Amino acid sequence: MAAKANRKQQKYLRLLLNLERLIGNETDLVSIMATVACEVYHAFKDFNWVGFYRVTEKNVLKIGPYQGEHGCLTISFDKGVCGAAARKKTTQSVPDVSKVPYHIACSPKTKSEIVIPLLQARKVVGVLDIDSHRFGAFDSVDKRYLEMICEMIVERTRGEHNI
């Protein structure tokens, strides 16, 4: 189990290095989100959907760059796991989506999900949403590194975009 956690951690460290290299000095939000969605999706074979929702108006999330089958376009803050993450401003990890009545099923393949809020000075500007076709795919290692990636995105785009 420890070896598996260690392998996952190594994968995230390689992913972070790749993202640093690919993003370079880029500050454009859509370019960074698209690069992150692509790299995270291809780094983990367990992930069947990786993408962003952006806050475009009060309490409304609109789909942003993503990889995987098509996702729903609009989610309000009072709906879905994405809405819960945006409303509570904390990462939501759902090991079995069938046990969560407010989960919005975009794909019947999805068994577990994690949603990380993008926080800019305590204000939610978007979320990173990842689905897996495996139950319980996300643990504390995923949470730690995915939160780190979201912090990096906000840091890079700070002051450049009104998101």
Cα–Cα nearest to 7, from 156, 154, 141, 153: 141
- Which span sits near ligand SME by CB under 6 A: 67-75, 118-126, 133-141, 144-152? 67-75
Cβ-closest residue to ligand SME? 80
Closest CA to 131 of 111, 102, 104: 111
Bridge partners of 115?
Answer: 92, 129
Half-sphere exposure of 118 (CA within 13 A, CB side): 24
Distance CA 80, CA 83 (A): 5
Among 29, 86, 129, 156, binds ligand SME (CB under 6 A): 129
Span from 9-17, 69-77, 118-126, 146-154 in contact with ligand SME (CB under 6 A): 69-77
* Sites for ligand SME among residues 10-39 (CB under 6 A): none
Which one of residues 16, 43, 60, 104 is an interface residue with ligand SME (CB under 6 A)? 104
CA distance 136 to 162: 35
Footprint on this chain of ligand SME (rule: CB under 6 A): 49, 71-72, 75, 80-82, 103-104, 106, 113, 129, 131
